[in-house]
Each structure stands twice: as structure tokens, then as C-alpha cells.
Amino acid sequence: MSFSLKGRTAFITGASRGIGLEIAKALAKRGANVAVAAKSAEPHPKLPGTIHTAVEEVNQIGEETGSGAKGLAIQLDVRDAKAVEDAIEQTVGKFGHLDYAVNNASAINMKSTVEASPKALDLMLSINARGTWLVSRYALPHLLNSNGANRNPHILTLGPPLTHDTFTTNSSTGCWPEQFAATKSAYTLAKGGMALVSLGLSAELQGKVGVNSLWPYTLIGTSAMKVVSPNADVEEKRWRSPEIVGEAAARMMEEDGRTFNGQWIVDELWLRRKHGFTDEQIRQYSLGGPDVKMEDLALDLWISKSLQEDVAKARRGD
């Protein structure tokens, strides 16, 4: 059974650009109102997009598609508990209810442990793990009301899959040591913390709110990735558009949250196995064009060898 998103309300952190913006746009196409919550109220010298331009895109989608979707721009630092609470209340005051909370905001610093500073660790923990907890905490009273009104509430977190094969030190099935050597200890702790918040919430809220995590199979070509990556003009040919994550996220919201809960979703697998996406449809998200072989795409972080085998089977139709 697929639930309609029309008339629902989503609160998305880090939605001024990149993956957060694409999730906002995918929800808007389906008729959901979106609170765009991010720090970027003024143009960045290197990164395009602000909360205001994102809302303009949401409103334009609502008008052009006839979905009726509206946007709300909220400047927010997810480290500030009072600001998070006020932003949630502002969203409910504007749209009357809250149905989806999307934890997308994240900080990244993959310096080695001996080079990393405690300040960098504190920043990542406060935005990634603590920010996810704060947004979920203050969204929950309204999401539980949404459950009572049969509006199918969800919490979605952009966090890595917490499976045995992700975190095992068995190098034949997991992604250790290469991936963990790349992500280092501080970022592993902070990003893994987002997934742990999702895991705990899914157990607390089963049968009431669908709580799940979503992760991209390949590297995603956000504007930030293009800025921080050496030789981005060449490397981005092996990346995918953030639209694939937006499409997967929106389809997750259409699931029945009472039973669709505690899932670790990987975008390509989800779109292929659950929604029947073909090679042609998946290739449309390749920034290098449809001629780039899928096996040549750059894998995202924490993609275990067993997960790679599963994706290979899905590509063969198994």
C-alpha cells in the first residue's frame, strides 16, 4: 500500500542545497509542504543555494505541477536546542501539522586521529548525532499527533547501514579496513551516531512512527563534493546526482510507517528491488552520462563487500 504525500508537511535539515534540497523537491512534486531548515540564509562564496532559493524551487514545483506544495525558509543551527524547538513550532504554526522529519544536516572532517582536533570532533558530534537527536526529539510530539490522525508519520536519517557486514573486521564480507581507514575515527563516530539515533528511535516508536535510514550506494555529486574533491571535473563522472537519493527518500515516505521501520535502505537497491527501476532509469542519475559503466562508479562510504555483491545480483535481476 502506498500512502499519498499530498498535503503532508516535512521538516528537512540541511535542505538549502545538495541531497536535502533534492529530497525537498521530490516531496514537493508529490504535494508535500516543506520547511527548509539550514544555516545558509545568505549566498555562500563557493556553494550555490540558500534557504530562500530552495523555497523558491519548492514553490515553483507546487505551482508548475499543481501539487499545491509550499515551502517555508527557516535559518537554523541544529546545535541550538531552543532554535530547533522554535523551528519545529514555526513549521507547525505555518502548516498546521508535521508529518515527516528528515535528518540530513551533517558535518564532515576525515583527518586522521593524530591530526584531528577535539574542536572538530565536537562540531561533528553536535551537528550529526546530537542534531539528529534534537530534531527528532522536538518533532516527536507532532509526529505522534500525525499518527493519531492517520497521516503516516516518518523520521528519515541520512545515516550508514548498521549491519554486521558494515562493521565486521572480516575483510572478505565487510568494508574494513579500507573504508574505515579513509573515514578515520572521529567522522566514523559522528556519522555512525546518526544511525544509532535512528536505531534507538525505531525501537521506541515501532507501530507509531516509521523510523529509517537511507544511504547512497555511490558518491553523490553535491556542490560541496565538487568544492572539496581534488580533480572534481574528472572524478564527478563516476558520481551520481543527488536526485537518486531524493527519489528513494520520497518513496520511503510513501510506505506504511507502522510496519516500515528500522530499515537500512541503500538507494539503488531500494529503487531496483522495491520499485522495479531498470538499468536505463538508474543510469539517468549518472553525472558521467549513461555510457559510464555502473561497475566503474565510485562507491560511497561504508559499502561492504557483501552489499556490493547484493547490488550486483540486483543488477542481474536476482
Please say if the pLDDT value at position 139 is more than 90.
yes
Please say if the pLDDT value at position 45 is more than 90.
no
Sorting pLDDT into bands at 50, 70 and 90, what band is 47? confident
Of the candidate ranges 47-51, 122-126, 217-221, the one whose mean pLDDT is the lowest: 47-51
User: Which of 100, 138, 187, 285 is an active site residue?
Assistant: 187
Ordered structural domains, the chain, with CATH: 9-316 (3.40.50.720)
Mean pLDDT of the chain: 96
Task: State yes or no: is 187 an active-site residue.
Answer: yes
pLDDT tens, position by position, 231-256: 888 899 999 999 999 999 999 999 99
C-alpha cell at 154: 516518518
Sorting pLDDT into bands at 50, 70 and 90, what band is 226? confident
pTM given for the model: 0.97
pLDDT tens, position by position, 76-85: 999 999 999 9
Q: Where are the alpha helices (DSSP H) in the chain?
A: 18-29, 51-65, 81-95, 118-124, 130-148, 164-167, 178-204, 223-228, 232-235, 243-253, 267-273, 279-283, 305-315
Please say if the pLDDT value at position 227 is more than 90.
no
Residue 154: predicted pLDDT: 98
Please say if the pLDDT value at position 202 is more than 80.
yes
Sorting pLDDT into bands at 50, 70 and 90, what band is 96? very high
Sorting pLDDT into bands at 50, 70 and 90, what band is 225? confident
Residue 113: predicted pLDDT: 98
With a pLDDT cut of 90, the percent of the chain lying above it is: 93
What is the length of the chain?
318
Please say if the pLDDT value at position 284 is more than 80.
yes
